[in-house]
Amino acid sequence: MFYELRMYHAVPGRLAELVERIGKILPPFFKRHGFPPRLGQWTVSAGPSMPMLIWLLCWPQGFTQRSASFAGLGADPEWQAIRLTTNGLGEMVRKYDLRILTPSPAWARPSATDGLPPEPVDAELFELRVYDVPVGFLAAANEILTASHLPSLAACGATILGVFENQTGPSTPGITMLLGWQNFEERRKGLRRFESLPEVRSTEALNILGSSACVLLEASPFGRPNHHLWPAM
C-alpha cells in the first residue's frame, strides 16, 4: 500500500477546466478501471509554481493495481474521445510532478473510538509542507514528529490530515505533511506560536527538520478531504 500525490502544472488560463475534468468528468472512468477514491483535491493558492492542481489517492494493492488502472484508462476509447474534445487546441497540463508516499510511523491510524467525524474537515486553508531530512536521520525525524512537532502543531490550531515518508521526488529522504487551518490568520498565529516553542527550536530538531517548503492550498469543490486521509479498508 502506498499513497500517490499528483501535482499537475496547468496551462495558464485552464486551471478551472482541469479541476472540472479531474473532479467531475473522470470519476466514472476512474471507477470503471479500478482506481481508488480520491482522498483530496486542491488548487494551489500560494507557492512557487502556479497554477497547479494537486490530488491524492491511496493504492491499497500497490503498483500492480496502479499499473492496471492507468493502462485501462489509457486504452479506454470513450475517455480518449472526451480527452481530445475537452483539450481543444492544446493540452491542459504543462507537466506532471508525481510523488510516491508511505505513511509515517509518527502518523497513527485513527480508531473507531477516536471520535473523528466522517464528514469533510472544516478548514478554509490547507497546507502542503515538505521537509528535507538528512540521509540516515529519517527514524530520528519520525521520533521528533511523534514527541513534539505533531502534538504542538495540533495544540497551535492545525488539523493533522496526513504525515508521510517520501519515497520519490526531490526531497528524498523527507517528510510530507498535509495540514488544515481555520483560515490564513489562524495559521499565521498558530505557526508563530509553534515556531517559538523550545522543543521546535532545539538544535536537534532544527538540524533534522529545519528545512521545509510550504504550499498553501484551497480545497476543490470536487475533493474536500475528510478529517484524516487513511483510506477505508
Q: 88: alpha, beta or left, given left = phi > 0 and alpha = psi -120 to 50?
A: left
Three-state DSSP class for 10? strand
**β-pair partners for 120:** 226
**Residue 230 confidence (pLDDT):** 75
Residue 149: CB partners within 8 Å, gap ≥ 6? 200, 205, 209
**Residue 229 confidence (pLDDT):** 83
**Residue 173 confidence (pLDDT):** 96
**Residue 179 confidence (pLDDT):** 96
Q: What angle do CA 112, 114, 120 make, to 5 degrees?
A: 90
Residue 87: CB partners within 8 Å, gap ≥ 6? none
What is the chain's Cα-based Rg? 18
Taking alpha carbons only, the member of 230, 232, 153, 161 closest to residue 195 is 153
Residue type, 68: A
Q: Are 206 and 41 in contact (CB under 8 A)?
A: no
**Residue 165 confidence (pLDDT):** 98
| The CATH classification of domain 2-99, taken from the options 2.40.128.20, 3.30.70.100, 3.50.50.60, 3.20.20.70 | 3.30.70.100
The residue assigned the cell 489509457 is 74
Determine the Cα–Cα distance for residues 69 and 24; give it in Å rounded to an integer: 18
**Residue 196 confidence (pLDDT):** 96
**Residue 148 confidence (pLDDT):** 94
Q: What is the pLDDT of residues 102-151, one digit of tens each?
A: 999 999 766 654 656 567 788 999 999 999 999 999 999 999 999 999 99
The correct answer on CATH 3.20.190.10 for the domain covering 102-111+118-219 is: no
Q: Are 181 and 127 in contact (CB under 8 A)?
A: yes
**Segments in the chain below pLDDT 70:** 109-118, 231-233
User: Where in the chain are the domains?
Assistant: 2-99, 102-111+118-219
Q: How far apart are the first and last CA of the chain?
A: 11
Taking alpha carbons only, the member of 144, 200, 135 closest to residue 166 is 135
**Residue 186 confidence (pLDDT):** 97
Determine the Cα–Cα distance for residues 109 and 32; give it in Å rounded to an integer: 29
**Residue 118 confidence (pLDDT):** 62
Question: How many Cβ atoms from other residues are within 10 Å of residue 63's Cβ?
Answer: 10
Cell of 138: 529519517
User: Does this chain's domain 2-99 share its CATH topology with 102-111+118-219?
Assistant: yes
Phi, psi of 178 (to 5 degrees): -115, 125
